[in-house]
Amino acid sequence: MDGLYCLRSDLIRDDCLDGWTVIGSGGFGQIYRAKHKGWGTDVAIKLLLYNDGSTSSLQREANLMFQGGNPNVLRIFGLYEGRLGGMHNLSQVGLVMEFMSRGSLADLLHALSGPPPWPLTFRITHQIGLGMNFLHQLATPLLHLDLKPNNVLLDDSLNAKLTDFGLSRVARSLSKSVQEKDESEGGTLSYMPPEALNSVNYKPNKASDIYSYGVLLWSIITGKEPYANALSSLVRFRIPQGDRPDVTSIDHSVAEGLDDIVQLMSACWTHEPNQRPSFRDCVHVTEKVFNMHKRGVNDAVHDVLKQLDDDICSGLRSVQISPKAKNRRPPFISCVTGPSPQQETGANQKAEGRKKDSLSRPVVFVAPHSNRAPQRQSSTPGRVSIHMSNVSAVQIGNNNFMNISPGSRQRHQTAPSSANRSQRL
């Protein structure tokens, strides 16, 4: 295929992409990460599931999304068309989008077990408002209709960008009632406005997104999921009756301007659609509050990124590589694990004497080099230190496997005659 064809922004085929990896899934389809050969950058591809099997509606929607260009709206590079995995697969279509390395706002709230630091919280709420205001201000307004933490993605600096316009439609052309759609098409129940649950004649409009934004604000500043412990049938019934997420536990005094955000939240989820503010009104409030905390944003972002990166690396901290000492024995690996049963493994240990570790504590298995004599492995109770030499692999954890290709092995000169040379690890 001509290399210039791969650089077209409206259609991207298999020949342009390499290294497909699944990174997520949802009601609208599977999401992959791949590298664009022509651009040399990673992209995200969402393979969409459409009931009618037609690509025409997707193409029209993609063309609308190309009207983007706002820094708080995810960039859509083009339309994917191909046969992922080989020519024998069915032809699939999807959207090729900007890849966001920090995942979603939902991932962040889960990792932090609560809201981000206030400067970052107020920046995220403002950026979401800016992105939605941009979409609503297009010549042909573009509705999102599924605002929630999962559909707010974060870049390397934790800037927020709106994604997942699988529900978006041109405002003037959308006429299906909520009863004609399942939840994957109609939005996420906890964030849906009461009119969507209470009327067979419901037609989404800008006020629908405003309501969802109000619930999203609550989720961001509390770090929680709305109605987390309620039955979906009860939520569907009670929202039209006036129930909303609990605001009584929010302490307005913990951050300057938080009271303004809570008032905006309540205005957004008011029952009557025509009484809700516009996103232009929303960003006036969020900008004012964000400016109060703007100086602390860089420190907040640094602290959160450090915490996220430390969490990722925490699982590897117990494995330490000791440097090679001069004029001494070969380098060895020192693995520190949590408390575990006393174990001792030597060249004369009987294979039938081994037992599987049924505990949930970390366990380390080591494979000796195939071209060297097996070395002694030992551990002691308590904070266990395992010292090994001449090893080719280390396996950490329970209920997993390590395959090692067999090779020539030499009998150690100190090993007793009864040593089991075929011993498996």
Which residues form the catalytic set? 146
DSSP letters for 55-94: SHHHHHHHHHHTT---TTB--EEEEEEE-TT-TTSPPEEE
Helix (H/G/I), strand (E/B), else coil: 323: coil
Angstrom distances, CA of residue 221 to CA of 283, 285, 299, 363: 16, 15, 18, 40
Please state, in angstroms and rounded to a whole number, the distance separating the CA atoms of residues 335 and 113: 30
The stretches of 66-162 forming alpha helices (DSSP H) are 105-112, 118-136
**Residue 420 near residue 398, CB atoms below 8 Å:** no
| C-alpha gyration radius of the chain | 28
Task: Report the sign of the C-alpha dihedral through residues 68, 147, 115, 121, in that order.
Answer: positive
Q: Cα separation of 131 and 218, whole Å?
A: 18
| Both tokens assigned to 42 | 């990673």
Cα 142 from Cα 133, distance rounded (Å): 10
